[in-house]
Chain A
Amino acid sequence: MLVMDDYSNPLRDPQDRRLPQIAGPCGLVIFGVTGDLSRKKLMPAVYDLANRGLLPPGFSLIGFARRDWANQDFAQIVHDSVKEHSRTPFREEVWNQLAEGFRFVPGDFSDDAAFGQLRGTIEQLDRERGTAGNHAFYLSIPPRFFPDVIGQLKEHGLAENYAQSWRRVVVEKPFGHDLESAQALNAVVSEVFPPESVFRIDHYLGKETVQNILALRFANQMFEPIWNSNYVDHVQITMAEDIGIGGRAGYYDGIGAARDVIQNHLLQLMALIAMEEPVSFDAQSLRLEKQKILRAVRRPARLGLHTARGQYVAGWAGGEKVLGFLDEQDIPRDSRTETFAAIKLNIDTRRWAGVPFYLRHGKRLGRRVTEVAIVFQPAPHLPFTETATEDLGHNALVIRVQPDEGVTVRFGSKVPGTAMEIRDVNMDFAYGGTFVESSPEAYERLILDVLLGDPPLFPQHEEVELSWRILDPIIEFWAANGRPDPYDAGTWGPDSAVEMLARDGRVWRRP
């Protein structure tokens, strides 16, 4: 490929904002391509990108898995999953040009011959489809296989960045299961790939959401002045799921709610809500501010009083009779894995001193919802009679992340009528419908970022480690003390969670 110094593409102009960035020639290699995630999210996202014209001409997809498939079988599998799960309408011609670049490499992660074949396939694609040596490796596999795969990539010279081409790797959460394992994992990955080539994805937290929060906080004048301990009473960050653990017993047992969601998703959301204004919106400045918050986090001294955990028991949830956690298939009857976790954290900065952040996550809760509620202090003086404001609660600003992405403002208003009576009302804003209904958007953005080499807004290694530092002592405390409290499936968690807030004189919002 020829390169001219200081070449600036005359067809591009910063003013020309219609033009999408299309990645240069490249390919994607998916390990664990037969998995659920790959079939339901990744491959449909690849198709949706192609359909929107955002993939480079000649884009190639190599699947790697322990199946005895030929390229055509693989194409058929992708075809079916794309047709079922893609967000945009299925169009045969898009599919056809995409499918020409599909290859399948069967083999084990420890199989030298298979990686030799992978290398051959990549080189062949470079020649036939012009992928120019640019390839991203997507590790959609359990972390215990990472050392194998990454070692093999290194051994077969597949991980080297040459002068004119790039190799990148995508790693999914969980990034380890405690600080030690996260560091070990990082050691494996960073030995082979430089930090800027490692993309860690937290698929709960799409770039769209992150950018929405940033826009709300930093593009407006009306929120920032009250975004501190002078006005904010506390913050509640909730991610609730109405489903149980489903078929993920093997993964979930021993991991639990705190490691699965709080460590990455909720701590990230907290950092975005609490951080200072970054000097610019590039990934590095953003990361810097998030790290400052994670570093400033202080756990309560008495963990027993300010954390809560639970396990769902059989019951009726949303009109269906569901099993308890301990009755789920492949879960040991004496499992102490928590399916609900709530923790209180303080942030020792001038802005947030004395403002607790309550984080909770659980499975089989009332409904599926992720939201951040900033709950404000009561007005310092109410010039009304006590009876008039009996129903008045705290003002709140709620950032709804999913499923109904938007913002709610909750404030007091007079009840119509002759008597003076003030009650809380909601004011809603909803983001445009198309973006909300379909979650794969997050994957589309991620894959695009990887192919473009855009530093993603996802956490890098330091943030992952800092998060584990916050969470590890809590998990250790739980491991050493008692069992999770039972809660009925379909409710909002165990009584201990309610008591935990009651101790501070507060209540959980019903999301």
Chain B
Amino acid sequence: MSIDLTATNAAKIAGALLHERRKAGSPAMGMVLTFIVITDEGDHYDALRAARTVSREHPARVLGVIRRSSRGAANLDAEIKIGEGGSGETVLLRMSGELAKHPESVVLPLLLPDSPVVAWWPGKPPEDPSTDPIGALAQRRITDAATVERGRSRAMLTQATNYAPGNTDLSWTRLTSWRALLAAALDQYPAKITGGEVEAERVNVSADLLVAWLTRRLKVDVSRAVTKGPGITSVSLRTGGGDIVISRPDGVLADFAIPNAPTRPVALKRRETPELLAEELRRLDPDDIYEETVKSLCRLAERTASGTSTKKDASAKAALSAKSTAKKRAAPAKSAAKKTATKSATNKPTAKKTAHKLAATPGSAGS
């Protein structure tokens, strides 16, 4: 069922949705959340399809927002779809003219009463999602730094710097299976880790996050090596008894090696967007581990920026930090202030070793 409304407004759209529900004979609403997809003409088909796939697990009202040129007269067109390959409702909203600057005015009346709101930017994310007009309506804001065409590492760092509770990035979600395997490795071989290395293609924000996470959790230096990919190709952790190595040269099948045990193959696939989104929607409270990881990412970037970085990781992190300083110069005072707050908050709980290192980099750009 598909309905086109032209030159319309939020009330008419809401009316059409109600009318359709009644006509379908089931006025009860089983939808558990509103899922806003901020997209454009080029990407909206795939993005909305992914959103509808996810709505099978989490029945949702999906609102696709397309902001067209802000020239000309204000206009709103809507395309309503009900019951096509998903559960719940899908509305594609095309805004143009002056309205393109006020998308939240259309979205707000269409939010489901009292249930969670999730915003997803399948393409280039706003610099600070939590203050974005639509992002501010959402309690969960999903960005994807890996889709930015140029300067992905910088995009990730921007997201990290502007972290607010409820933010999350699909680059982080992509890591879950890696992280699960690494945690399982330490379950099986509980040893003190003395160092580590992450190998991945030259630009890979997930790899940067993995380095940040491992550094933060293990409190050791984790270096970053560059390979041809695809994605992350290997992670190794050094222990007194030998290395724990998970390597995935082909992006599909990994070898899992821990000391004193035979090397075993394990499927470690790169997951599709709907799967990643479904994982995101399972929990809607702030992800504390992501928060500590992005803070760790910021710290690492500062460290490289202030020249205390060591050996190997030069290429990736140099690129990352050079751009991050550039961003900081351009950034408004607000974000700098936020950053200082962030830093002082995270200094406390870290272990001696890390704290010591941080103390050695006092004059870094942000503060």
Contacts and interface: CB of A to CB of B under 8 A. Distances in A.
A411 to B, nearest CB: 13
A17 B182 CA distance: 15
A56 B184 contact: yes
A25 B189 CA distance: 11
A433 B57 contact: yes
Interface string A108-151: 00000000000000000001111010000000000000000000
B188 A129 contact: no
A18 B285 CA distance: 12
Interface residues of B, number: 47
Interface stretch (B105-113, B125-133, B225-233, B260-268): B260-268
Nearest to A128: B262
A505 interface: no
Contacts of A10: 186, 193, 217-219
Contacts of B57: 432-435
Contacts of A94: 267, 269
Interface residues of A, number: 45
Given A97-B267, A428-B30, A53 B193 contact: no
B41 interface: no
Contacts of B264: 57-58, 129-130
- Max chain A CB contacts within 10 Å: which of B57, B219, B256, B264? B264
A194 B63 CA distance: 55
B183 A11 contact: yes
A91 B268 CA distance: 12
Nearest to A427: B28
Contacts of A301: none
Interface string A235-256: 0000000000000000000000
A339 interface: no
A58 B267 CA distance: 11
Interface in B239-296: 241, 252-253, 256, 260-262, 264-269, 279, 283, 287-289
Contact of B56 (A11, A15, A98, A434): A434
Contact of B188 (A25, A51, A98, A434): A25
Given A11-B218, A432-B56, A24 B87 contact: no
B289 A15 contact: yes
Interface stretch (B9-17, B42-50, B173-181, B319-327): B173-181
A4 interface: yes
A453 B179 CA distance: 22
Given A18-B176, A19-B180, A53-B268, A432 B261 contact: no
- Max chain B CB contacts within 10 Å: which of A3, A25, A53, A427? A53
B179 A11 contact: yes
Given A11-B183, A130-B262, A3 B28 contact: no
B217 A11 contact: yes
Contact of A433 (B87, B189, B241, B266): B87
B59 interface: yes
B218 A57 contact: no
A22 B181 contact: yes
B56 A9 contact: no
A417 interface: no
Given A10-B186, A10-B193, A22-B184, A53 B267 contact: yes
Contact of B187 (A9, A51, A96): A9
Contacts of A3: 190
Given A25-B261, A434-B56, A93 B190 contact: no
20 contacts: A4-B190, A10-B193, A11-B183, A12-B183, A18-B287, A25-B261, A51-B267, A56-B188, A58-B262, A93-B252, A93-B267, A96-B265, A97-B266, A97-B267, A127-B262, A130-B264, A432-B56, A432-B59, A433-B59, A434-B56
Interface of B: 26, 28, 30, 32, 56-59, 87, 173, 176-177, 179-184, 186-191, 193, 214, 217-219, 241, 252-253, 256, 260-262, 264-269, 279, 283, 287-289
A-B CB proximity, top 6 nearest: A58-B264, A57-B256, A130-B261, A22-B184, A57-B266, A57-B264
Interface of A: 1-4, 7, 9-13, 15-20, 22, 24-25, 50-51, 53, 56-58, 91, 93-94, 96-98, 100, 127-130, 132, 427-430, 432-435
